[in-house]
Structures are given as structure tokens and as C-alpha cells.
Amino acid sequence: MSDRVKVVGYAQRVFFNDGIEYRNFTDDLVGNQLVQGNDGINSISTFGNFVTRINNRGRASRLYSSKKYTQFYSLETLNLTETEAKSIINDNLTVKLNLDTTDLCNFAYFGSTREFVRVSLENIISNWPASLYVSPNRVNTSTSIVGDTVINYNFDYVTNSSTFEIPTNFIRNNFDINYLKNGLTIDSFNTENNLKNLTVNFLDYVIFVDDTEYKLINFSAATTEINDTIKVKVKGDPFTKYNSKKIEYHVKPKSILVEKFFNSLGSFENNLLNRLTSPKYSSTYDIKQETELGRIINTQKTVTWPVSDGYNIDFNTGEYLNYVNDLIDISNTKDELEANLIVRFLVAESISDFDTVATANTLVDEDSSQKINKTLKIYGREFDEIKKHIDGISYANRVSYDKKNNTPDQLVKYLARTLGWGLTNSILDTDLINNYEKLNPQTYAGYNRGLTAGEAELELWRRLILNSAFIWKSKGTRKAIEFFF
């Protein structure tokens, strides 16, 4: 084996006079040649492997193409009126607190729980988007009568519309909806509701049968409530598939107006009409009951607002009376042990004792009685509104599956961004009604209805926040990928 080693790339070592060594790389790397240019006259220095050239072509022109503009949208393309658009925006931008609905003290603490419940029930009944319930079984008669609820039905395939008549004898109108030519729109609580004037606002109504809505196109009011008919024209074919004309259905406001009503409810009213429970409109409350030995027992009670016709809430039946009695018992228990603090603790008892009390044996006007107590309850109501928002601040960063004492739904995505998530929008459809008003089919067994696209997106972000720690610990593994799927 040879002991000689050849080092490529270095020349002989050279020292200058001052003793500084100069290391020269291989001469092949850089040369000192001079060659002629393409014109044969000008010289070009190549310096070995490095070439200097002259560019005579000038500036290169390039066309930069931008992306196309997105499609322009307007209320016409979205199929919305200005009123409907403002309603959807306001309903979905308003921040609503997610307090524990099982504890009535979150709604009435300084004021009277009983009065708060009473006013809430009246407000729901007065503003309920009521319907005309058409049933083949005639009521309010000495004998049971069964008849057709659809008369002279005709479907036009060309215009995709149907015309028929509704006999007034088989209409149940518990909410005093006006369907007469010269009728009034004053309901049982003497509050005027323009939506209940079907004769004027028939375009806001639909025929609701088999969970499907058919829009009203034309409407001819009846003259009397007995032995007369209502003539209507609807979009689509609601009744051809039925062999009999003895059909149960509703003439009710369209879905966007129903959703507007539910979005306008307060936290407690929305809990009374909870549509995510099964059966729907069920609510559960914590109760503290005092035994004969003076012990306090914590229990829960669930009450359900009855619905006898499949859509309208009851307010004049025996089942509703039992429902109200249960709420009164719960409210009285709260007022005696926990709530109504203004009257029970914060004001001297002598003030309430000398307040005028109306009895059957006195000539005192009932409206003028108990003025002090009524005033104190009004003060307590205002204090409760302030307390509710103070409690909401303390739960601003809390998220749980049951949504009790949680951050508002409108702030869930902002909380996710604070935790490091990159916000995206899963709603790609530009139809605001389908995104925020239209309910999807029922998916979860414990829910009475499906979720809108907006509600489903919020639930997704809520679950991402709750599982952020698990996702972080298992990132890069199969478990994290399976979780997202």
C-alpha cells in the first residue's frame, strides 16, 4: 500500500516578506484568460469558470393576473326583506348570558320569583306566534261532528300551486287570530299583535302539515265564524297524497317569524320553552324544601308546558293549570327561603305591615293596594338585572357541555382564539335563513329538534375548547386524527 497522499485543490505554500502565509487554491478554479466577445471586437473576462455576459434584450414584460371578484350579494339575491335581514343580524349578534337555568335565584333574587314567573308566562302567551288549528273533529258543540277540513281542492301543475277552502266550523282559534273581513286583533290579554291579523298579513303565514310548510300566496277572509269558509292559495301540493280530506294541519306564521319570537325571549322564558328537551318545553328547577324537623332538603322538579294540538302552547286547559300550579309552588318556596330579599330583609317589616291590603270586606281599590310592596318588587327586579350581568362576567371564561354558567355563545369562538386556535368559518352557504333560521333534521337522541348551521358550528368550537388539552397532549398521534374525524 502506498504511503503517499495527494491533496487536490491546493498549490505550493507561499510566504511573504513579513512572514504571512498565503494559501492559494487550485489554479483551475479561477483563471486569467481574456477572450473576445461575440462581436469579435470587445473583450470579455471569463476568469476561468465565472462568466460575465451582456444582456441586450431589455426589460422582460409580464402580465400579472388578479383573481376574479366574488359574486355580489343583495337582499334580492339572498331572498330577504330588509326587516328580515335586520332581525337575523340582531338576533345573532346580541350577547345572551348562559346562566344555570335550574337555579331561579339567577333570575329573581332581590325581587319576587312569583311575580317574575307570572310576567314571563303572560309575555310568552301574548307574543306566541299562534296558529289556526284545523281539525276534522268539531268542538264546542253538544254532539261530536266529524267533517272534511279541505274543500274544493285543486292543484295546478303548471304554476305549482294549490287552491282550496277551509271550513270555519273546524277551526280552533284559541289565540284570537283574525281571519274575518271585519274582525279585531285583540287577544285574551288585551295586547295588540299585528301578526295575529291573518286577513292583512296572510303572506307571513304557511300551511303546516307533516312538518312541511307551504307558503300562502292568496287569501280570502271569511264573513262569519260559523258555516263559512276561508279560501286560500298556497305554493306546492300539500294534500294530493291524502286519500281522505279529514286532515289535521295548522295555518301558522312562517319559520323565520317563529324563530324571531324564540330569539326575542329572555333567558328564563327561553328555558320555559326549551326546544332541545324531550318532551319539548320541559324545564328543571332546584328546590330547597324544609322538613318538619327544620332540615333543608335539596331536590329537583321538572315541569313541561303542555301542547295539545302539536304546535300551539296551552293556556286554558287543565294540564296547563297543573303546570302553573307547579311553577307557583316552586316560586313560593324560593321566595320564602332564598329570594325576595328586598321585602324580606332589606326593608323594615313595619313598612310592609302598614301597607294597604285589599280584602273582600273593604272598599279599597285592588289596583291601589299593596303599593309599597309592588314598588319594592320593581326595585328588586332592577337589582336582579344588574346582578345577572355581574354573574355573567364571573363565568366569561368558563365552558362546559351542559352550558350552565358558561360564556355566551357569541363569545365562544373568541375564547378559542385566546387559547391559540386559528378561527375558521364552517358556514359557506350565503343563505342567511338556512344558516341561522332553518333547523336541520334531528340528530341527537336527547334533543327534540335539530340544530341550525350556526348552532352546530358553536357546538363544534365548544367541544374543541373542552378537548384542547387532550388534543395538545396527543398531537401527532393517531388518537388526535381519530378525534377530529
Task: Point out the domain boundary residue: 247, 275, 293.
Answer: 247
| 438 lies in some domain | yes
Q: Residues 153, 196: one domain?
A: yes
Q: Sort strands 14-15 and 21-22 into parallel, antiparallel or unpaired.
A: antiparallel
Whole-number Å distance between alpha carbons of 340 and 223: 51
d(C-alpha 200, C-alpha 216), whole Å: 12
Residues 6+ apart with CB under 8 A from 16: 22
- CA-angle at 213, arms to 207 and 219, nearest 5°: 35
* Residue 386 shares a structural domain with residue 293: yes
Note down the domain range covering 471: 409-484
Q: Is residue 44 part of a domain?
A: yes
Assess whether 123 and 140 both reside in one domain. no
Tell me: do 21 and 43 sit in the same domain.
yes
Please measure the distance between the N-terminal and C-terminal CA atoms of the chain and give it in whole angstroms: 65
Q: Hey, is 217 helix, strand or coil?
A: strand
Angstrom distance (rounded) from CA 383 to CA 390: 11
**Domain final residue, candidates 394, 423, 441:** 394
Distance CA 46, CA 29 (A): 12
Find out whether 405 and 398 touch, Cβ atoms under 8 Å: yes
Q: Are residues 231 and 328 in the same domain?
A: no
Query: Does residue 309 sit in the same domain as residue 377?
Result: yes
341, 359, 394 — which closes off a domain?
A: 394
Domain-located, residue 234: yes
CA 393 to chain centre: 21
Per-residue pLDDT at 425: 72
The Cα diameter of the chain in Å comes to: 135
Q: Do 227 and 140 share a structural domain? A: yes
CA 106/CA 267 separation, integer angstroms: 10
- The answer on 31 and 178 residing in a single domain is no
Asked whether residue 68 is domain-assigned, the answer is no
User: Considering the domain boundaries, does residue 79 fall inside one?
Assistant: no
For position 360, what pLDDT does the model report? 41
Residues 422 and 371 in one domain: no
Counted domains in the chain: 4
Q: Are residues 465 and 370 in the same domain?
A: no
Q: How far is CA 406 from the centre of its chain?
A: 15
Q: Are residues 43 and 159 in the same domain?
A: no
Indicate if 437 and 468 belong to the same structural domain: yes
Question: Which residues fall within 8 angstroms of residue 362, CB to CB, at 6 or more apart?
Answer: none
**pTM > 0.75:** no
What are the pLDDT tens digits along the chain (485 aa)?
545 555 454 455 666 666 666 555 555 444 455 555 555 555 555 445 555 677 777 777 777 776 666 666 666 666 666 766 666 666 666 778 888 999 999 999 999 999 999 999 999 999 999 999 999 987 665 667 888 999 999 999 999 999 999 999 999 999 989 999 876 655 555 556 778 899 989 999 999 998 899 999 999 999 988 889 999 999 999 998 888 889 999 999 998 889 889 888 888 999 999 988 888 899 999 988 877 887 888 889 999 999 988 899 999 899 999 999 999 999 999 998 889 999 888 888 777 777 665 444 443 344 445 788 888 888 999 999 999 999 988 898 899 888 889 998 888 988 988 888 887 776 655 556 666 666 777 766 667 777 777 788 888 888 889 988 888 888 888 887 887 77
Q: Is residue 113 part of a domain?
A: yes
